[in-house]
Chains A and B, each alone.
Chain A
Amino acid sequence: MIITSIELHNWQPYYGFGQKGKTRVNFKGKSGKKNIIFYGQNTNGKTAFWEAIQFSFFGRVNKRRSSGIRDGNFKPLVADSTDFEPLLNVSAWDEGNCNFGVVLEFNHEGDDFRLERFYQPRTGVRLARRDSEMELHLTLRNLSKNKYLKNEQTYLNNILPEKLSRFFMFDGERAKEYRDLFMDAGHDVELRGLIEDILRFPILTQGAGDFRDISKECSKEITKYVKTASKDATLIKHLEKLEGIIEQNTTFRDQFKNKLDEKSERLSQLNNWLKNNDKGKEALVQEEMYSKLVEDLEDAIKTSKERMARFLPESWRAILRTRINDRIAQVEEDLKRQEKEKEEIEGLKFEIGNLETRLRGKPCKHCGHKQDEPSSDEIDSISRTILEKEQKIQILEESRISPSPLVLLKRQDSLKNMSSDRYLDVVVDYETDILTNQKKLRDAKNNLKDAVNLLTADAKKEVQAHILEKEQLLEKIGDLKGELKGVQDFLSQIEGEHRLKSKGLQSSTGSKTKVHEKAELKQNIADAFEEIWTNQVEVHREAMRSRVESHASKVFMKLTNKEKVYSGLKITKNFQIALLNKKGRGDSGSQGQWALIAYSILDALTTCSGTEFPLVIDTPGASIDDEHLEKLFEYLLSAGKQVMIFAEGTELKPEKGDSDFAHHCAATYKLKMKAGENEKSEILISYNNLEE
Chain B
Amino acid sequence: MEDEIIDENDQSKGGIVTCSSEFHKDIGDFAELFTTSKSPIREAARFAMAIGIQKDRREKREDWKKKGKKRTIAHLHGQFDDGGRYDFSLLFEMLGLIVDDTPLHHLVSEYVTGGMRWISENELKKGYNFSIMKEEFPYLFQD
Contacts and interface: CB of A to CB of B under 8 A. Distances in A.
Nearest to A307: B36
B34 A424 contact: no
A369 interface: no
Contacts of A428: 130-131, 133-134, 141
A4 B47 CA distance: 74
A316 interface: yes
Most buried by A among B43, B127, B129, B131: B127
A173 B25 CA distance: 49
Contacts of A312: 33-34, 43, 47
Given A312-B47, A315-B47, A417 B86 contact: yes
A431 B49 CA distance: 22
A424 B140 contact: yes
Most buried by B among A308, A316, A415, A431: A316
Contacts, number: 97
Interface stretch (B3-11, B13-21, B50-58, B64-72): B50-58
A415 B91 contact: yes
A319 B128 contact: no
Given A324-B91, A424-B130, A319 B140 contact: yes
A309 interface: yes
B87 A418 contact: yes
Contacts of B91: 320, 324, 414-415, 418
A313 B34 contact: yes
A137 interface: no
A321 interface: yes
B33 A316 contact: no
A317 B50 contact: yes
Contacts of A411: 90, 94
B102 interface: no
Contacts of A615: none
A310 B36 contact: yes
A358 B139 CA distance: 60
A438 B140 CA distance: 26
Interface string B114-143: 000000000000011111011001011111
Contacts of B140: 315, 318-319, 321, 423-424
A109 interface: no
Contacts of B134: 428
A373 to B, nearest CB: 56
B94 A425 contact: no
B50 A316 contact: yes
A324 B139 CA distance: 13
Interface string A329-357: 01100000000000000000000000000
Interface in A381-440: 411, 414-415, 417-418, 423-425, 427-428, 431-432, 434-435, 438
A194 to B, nearest CB: 46
B85 A313 contact: no
A424 B141 contact: yes
Lowest 7 A-B CB distances belong to which pairs?
A: A316-B50, A319-B50, A313-B37, A316-B46, A327-B94, A414-B87, A309-B36
Interface of B: 33-37, 43, 46-47, 49-51, 53-54, 85-87, 90-91, 94-95, 127-131, 133-134, 137, 139-143
Given A312-B43, A312-B47, 10 more contacts: A305-B127, A318-B140, A319-B50, A319-B137, A320-B50, A322-B139, A414-B86, A414-B90, A417-B85, A431-B129
